[in-house]
Structure 1
């Protein structure tokens, strides 16, 4: 009986911690709908998939504006925080799956006075999770990212059978100069099917 009571108390503590993180980083308390859409539009050409016939060199061409405007609507801002001149946000989108699942991206970025990006970094991308699990794990990772804590224990090579982060891993990293995921051994950009 004592074991059940302890497990129940631990579960309450975990749920309380998740609720506090969710409330602390609630984007609706910090950004209105227009500001959330602008945040996504600013980052979608990096975060989202390339359009058909588009390349990383042409993705900013005006011909793709409509594609990216529609693609941004597929994303939801789940968490937001500002610290030391940087903006941190967690965005999610529905991922292909038999059940409704979402993938989340933890982003650290800096915009200048004109709203243009000075720094953009995808700190992590999660695996596909059903929505409650994505929120629980995504917000926990987001909180650690904002606090500057090590996310290494949650990388696939370190997390055992429990899934958290898909990228980065021991082979894949985010190149902050080119603003895209690459393979470490060759420096070659990942194919769109992978990300």
Structure 2
């Protein structure tokens, strides 16, 4: 019975993924330059800090080259412009013995000058081989765009099947600081 349920869930995920990949295909909605611009505008929030970089100084010009190169490591996999938010899902290769990727689902608001007024990383997946990352990531992206609850896919709720690494019971996204924070951290 468990095997049948698992096969049914994976089939539904695959069907949902196939439907949503075309609907949210970033390459069909945005040119290469627009995709690069999105990544350059968010990379200082999404990417790792440079050596000697902190959350307080990461916008200094001394780190421009680092972040420009880092943005090239990310791919915009999905995009949707809603009436209230822009949504996109980016992926990057994650350290692993096999080639695996992590996907990050984002909703944001940019003003007419392209400056970010609101930014939230809604989910970050576990590292998966590319096909699984796209399948699960696109399903999560579709739910995010529709404003549906992603908590059934959090680690504490998804059983043995992995989907979302963050948020979880200890790590959440702080919209004001525009970064992931742990409940163990002291927020100043």
User: One fold, TM greater than 0.5?
Assistant: yes
Distance 1:136 1:187 in 2: 36
Distance 2:152 2:68 in 1: 35
- TM-score, normalised by the number of residues in structure 1: 0.88
Match of 2:77 in 1: 78
Q: What stretches of structure 2 of length at least 5 have no aligned partner? A: none
Match of 2:146 in 1: 147
Match of 2:127 in 1: 128
RMSD of equivalent CA atoms:
1.8
Structure with higher Rg: it is 1
- TM-score, normalised by the number of residues in structure 2: 0.92
Distance 1:55 1:18 in 2: 37
- Residues paired across the two proteins, number: 182
1:163 Cα deviation from its structure 2 partner: 0.5
Distance 1:138 1:15 in 2: 11
Match of 2:169 in 1: 170
Question: Does 2:76 correspond to 1:45?
Answer: no
> Is the CA contact (8 Å cut-off) linking 2:86 and 2:109 kept in structure 1?
yes
Alignment of 1:63-102 (within 5 A): 63-102=62-101
> Is the CA contact (8 Å cut-off) linking 2:101 and 2:128 kept in structure 1?
yes
1:16 Cα deviation from its structure 2 partner: 3.5
Indicate the SS of the match to 1:41. helix
Q: Deviations over 1:134-169 (max 9, x none)?
A: 000000000000000000000000001110000000
Closer/same/farther in 2, CA of residues 186 and 67 from structure 1, 3 Å limit: closer
Closer/same/farther in 2, CA of residues 162 and 14 from structure 1, 3 Å limit: closer
Distance 2:100 2:108 in 1: 26
Runs (4+) of structure 1 moved beyond 3 Å?
A: 13-16, 185-189
